[in-house]
Structure 1
Amino acid sequence: MKRSRSCSPTFLAIKQHKPTSPTTHLTYHALEEHNHNIPSLPPCALLQMALEERAHSLSDIPIIPPPSTRSSQRSRSSSPVRPSDAQYRGGHLRRAKIFVGDEIPASISCYVNTSIFHNLTSSGNDHLYQISERLWRKSKELEKKPSGEAEWTEALYAALNDLKPVEFEAVRNRDWRTDLKPPVHNPRPTIPRKRSELHQPLQENAATDSLYPSPDSSRVIEPAIPVFRLKDPRPDICVGLSDDSLADSLEHAKGRDIAQSLLLDMQDTSTLISDPHVTPLGLRFPFLIVEAKAGATGGNLYQAQNQAAVGGSTALLILKGLSDLRDSQDLNRENQDCVETSDESGQATPDIKLNLAFSITTEGPVHELWLHFRKPNEDFQMVCIGIWRTTSKDGSLNFLRHLSAILRWGNGEFKDNLVSILQDL
């Protein structure tokens, strides 16, 4: 039996063609007869041959990504990322001249010790003991559970609400206006090089750039400049004077109508911003803020301190707005010689009263008390003056004694100084 063999049409056509003699000359007629007898390749075979030839010709050429791909890769690698807590303090706060942990000047230390914390064991101890007992029991209860910021803030707010006078307002978790924050010094654009240095590389690379322009050349010459911004304050608790209490204090000197509308008109005309909230809440001249964190939910004191540093500095700027308004009124009433004489004599106590604010930072049961003030060189300072743990009976009581002293000062000398200035405006 003969073995059958399958052949393609092209192969059969070549096989059936009558072979030529080896001695056949390569003439025009022979080539024409050869082309006539050999069938042409099918289109699919021609396409495959063309693709193989193209692939072979491009195999030695390196593949370069398009400019858009390279620039997008570079932009992703150099895109700004959220700074760490340490970077925020060392970069953002420092550029706003806000410093944490310095020493208290002697004049401010003397005033604080003699006018605010001079009588911590005064009258009202029975009421204070009851509030301290409740805060201690609540802290012990929260410590047994993975309690978050809201629970710890609520415990402190309850104690603060029991301590504060009726003349005060205490609000929670409300945004402050972004235009009240301390200004931040941002880097200036890159200093241009000397003209000779600037043109030399451009001339050397002129021919190359004309043939192969670089889409990223501008990025290389002018690198991106970082922009530093402070986070907008949003204290967990904010304490200040109420609209009604200030109106009552101003009524005798200004009359009822003017007393009720004075701060409203100043706020609406941006003459004096005394309520820091985006939506005004009738809380004027905040002097105490609280920033609470909970270790159970990943918060810590360092984060709370960073937030309190901005809020406390903003409170100082609000008070500075009032003192600047007072100074401008004095300039209109007195001649320059009298102003220079008063400046040389110095003003101690009134300036200190308008240059103090307090903040409380917490991490669970740990409560820190901070003093905010501004140095003559306009640096904002934040100094810790005490730390207590409210799961301890003594710690809870001592903490509330200091808090009660601040509230008494706020309703006393602090408020009286504000009212005396507002009466003269």
Structure 2
Amino acid sequence: MAPQAKSAPAKKNRRKTAAGPATPIVRSVKPRKSARLQNDSTPSTRPAPISQPACARRKRSRDPEAEADDREGVCPEAEADPSVHPAKRPRSLPSPQLQLSETNLRRFNGEEMHITPASRIKRSSSQRSTSSDVTQDTARSQRSSGTTAYYRFAHLATAQVYIHTDSAEDIQEAIDAVFKAEPSEERRDQLKAISQVLHNGCTKAARAAVGEDDFVHLFFAALKAMSSEKLCLREKADWQEVLKPRIQRSHFNLDFLAGFDFMAGYQQQEVDATATPRKRHQESAGQTYISPRSSMANAFDPMPAKEPGTMPPPAPPSVLEADRSPIKTPRPDISIGTEVTALTSALSSQDTNSSEAWLFLTQLQNMMVHRESGGPQEPVLISVPAPRASDLAFPFAVVEGKAYSTGKQVFEAENQAAVAGACGLKMQLCLDELVERAAPTPTSDVLPAPKNQPALFFSICTQGPIHELWVHWTNVEGGMRKFHMKLLKICHGVLLEGVEDFIVAVDNMLRWGTGQFLESVVERLGRVARNTRAEA
């Protein structure tokens, strides 16, 4: 009966342990069970366990099932093992709110592992996204500005096209002769009404933040109101590529460098050349990216090497002389010139009829010649610059516009107008060259040809309601043909007074184009026609 008396207190102690309020019993013989049942709120009094149970180790795991088992106080390994006596299996822990410390309670409730990190990640991600967008917009703006500036000061300068230059005395006299005319009172009243319409349209468009075409169409309507039957206006007409100014080549002979091995000492650069170049180095106003490995080789041979370190055979002359100019082909927003019918009608007064005049211009434009050694074939005379605008002949002005609210600047419009101006001047130079070639041998009975006025061309560059009037001219300096561009007037569309003064200047330009300029073109073409008919 003695053993039965000892077993009763043991069962009573086990019931107290399951109830919770009683202090857990720490047994020296079974430290593992005592460490498992000890209160977490007093970690300093807990004895160090001999070995940590597997279920306690899994408490730090991120596995949801393991966390769920730990919160319920059940050790999966103990339940799964049938050899473990049921009395030795750990019982359910008390409620976490009563037995766990504040740190463990937050850990078991998932506040640190789920809620806090997620909110932090979300906020930091939003901040990074905003910062990234600003950085990309800034880099894109800097890349665009750098590209247009590089195009002007590198490519255009190489083609001898310059902006903001001073005019010589004879050029300035010719410019003043165009704008010195004063309109009549009736004409001024008409121009004042046109200025009012343009002012109202620019004011409304500026408030509405419209695009580029809306502003250009406002000015197009003003030009139509000022135009005459001799004037031709065409939008988005693609000019011929052969009119573009060519990149000037030096007269120095560098053939002795053709066989030099530029690849020596650049093994590391050859490895880097296989990587994709950065985007900002690829965008430079039509300039093709050239890797460090092939930059020097391509200066003498445009064909890439088939194997690293070897030079391909020389390309044929036709490929070497191909036009790879970075200068963009003009496509003005508005091309301003003479109606072909008006030109042929004026030529009919030069001892020929309209049909013969049209056939004469067609023959000159279809006859091809080489103007430069190794250069492409060009027409003897280009009277119609845009094949898809066959009614536009000998343009004397263009309009290039950019948006106002989208960030496009007038700087880029000026670059485009500079090339169009050089193309228009080249057409006039070709006409002068044709007159000289068709001139008969001078004799005492032949009167000298009248001296032609300096070749002029005009352009209007806009940035929304901002309008600029430019003049273009050309000269030969140091054996090179150079093209220049100078600002004459500027106005803002929302200021009526400035608009009226600007419209008067534009009207003078249009009257010069359909008057003095057209008469000069007809006189020179008539001279060529008479000389060629006499030889026949």
Normalising by structure 2, report the TM-score. 0.55
How much has 1:186 moved relative to structure 2?
A: 6.0
Aligned counterpart in structure 2 of residue 105 of structure 1, from 156, 159, 168: 168
Structure 1 alignment gaps of length 5 or more: 1-80, 209-214
Aligned-partner SS, 2:382: coil
State the partner residue of 2:346: 249
Q: Which residue of 2 aligns with 1:371?
A: 471
Supply the distance in 1 between the matched residues of 2:294 and 2:342 (Cα, whole angstroms): 60
Letter in structure 2 aligned against 1:368: E
Name the counterpart of 2:359.
261
Is the Cα contact below 8 Å between 1:120 and 1:402 reproduced in 2?
Answer: no
The number of equivalent residue pairs is 325
2:181 to 106, 109, 119: 119
Contact 1:175 1:277 in 2 (8 A): yes
How far has the Cα of 1:127 moved from its partner?
Answer: 1.0
User: Structure 1 residues 193, 236: closer, same or farther in 2, change over 3 A?
Assistant: closer
What pairs up with 1:221-300 in 2 under 5 angstroms?
222-225=296-299, 228-252=325-349, 253-269=351-367, 270-300=379-409
**Alignment of 1:168 onto 2:268:** no
Counterpart residue type for residue 240 of structure 1: G
Counterpart amino acid of residue 355 in structure 2: D
Q: Is the 8 A contact 1:361 1:367 kept in 2?
A: yes
Where relative contact order (Cα < 8 A, 6+ residues apart) is larger, the structure is: 1
Equivalent AA in structure 2 for residue 256 of structure 1: S
> Is 2:404–2:465's contact at 8 Å kept on the other side of the alignment?
no
- For 2:364 and 2:471, locate their aligned partners in 1 and report how far apart those are by CA, in whole Å: 28
Secondary structure, counterpart of 2:468 in structure 1: strand
Trace 1:300-315 onto structure 2 (pairs within 5 A): 300-315=409-424
Say which SS state the counterpart of residue 459 (structure 2) adopts. Answer: strand
Q: Which amino acid aligns with 2:210?
A: S
1:262-291 C-alpha deviation (Å, 9 max, x unpaired) = 222222333311111132421110001000
Cα deviation digits, residues 237-266 of structure 1 (max 9, x gap): 011011110111111221232123222222
Whole-angstrom distance in 2 between the partners of 1:383 and 1:104: 8
Q: Counterpart of 2:125?
A: none
Distance across 1 between alignment mates of 2:193 and 2:382: 37
Deviation at 1:143, TM superposition (A): 0.7
1:87-142 per-position Cα deviation (integer Å, ceiling 9, x unaligned): 100111001100000101111111221x2111244341111111111001001110
Deviation sequence 1:138-193 (CA, Å, 0-9, x none): 01110101111100010000000110111011000111111111111368997656
- Partner amino acid for 1:286? P
CA RMSD, aligned part only? Answer: 3.5
Deviations 1:292-318 (A, max 9, x none): 011312211110000000001000001
Residues 357, 220 of structure 1: CA spacing in aligned structure 2 closer, same or farther, 3 A cutoff?
A: closer
Q: Does 1:334 align with 2:442?
A: yes
Which residue number in structure 1 is paired with residue 119 of structure 2?
A: none
| Residue 520 of structure 2 corresponds to residue 422 of structure 1 | no
Q: Residue 222 and residue 368 in structure 1: after superposition, are their counterparts in 2 closer, same or farther (change >3 A)?
A: closer
Indicate whether 1:142 and 2:205 are aligned. yes
The CA deviation at 1:236 is 0.2
Structure-1 separation of matches of 2:458 and 2:151: 21
SS in 2 for 1:296: coil
User: Match for residue 360 of structure 1?
Assistant: 460
Distance 1:272 1:317 in 2: 10
**Which of structure 1's runs of 4+ aligned residues deviate more than 3 A?**
120-123, 186-195, 218-228
Query: Which of structures 1 and 2 has the bigger CA Rg?
Result: 2
Q: 1:299 to 1:220 in 2, by over 3 A?
A: closer
In structure 2, the CA distance between the partners of 1:221 and 1:299, relative to structure 1 (3 Å rule), is closer
Change (3 A) 1:405 1:281: same
2: distance between equivalents of 1:194 and 1:317? 34
Measured in 2, the distance between the counterparts of 1:393 and 1:280 equals 34
Q: 1:408 & 1:194 partners in 2: Cα distance?
A: 55
- Identity score, percent: 27
User: Alpha carbons of 1:220 and 1:176: their partners in 2 closer, same or farther (altered >3 Å)?
Assistant: closer
Matched, 1:411 2:514: yes
Counterpart among 459, 465, 488 of residue 385 in structure 1: 488
2:196 and 2:483 mapped to 1: Cα distance? 36
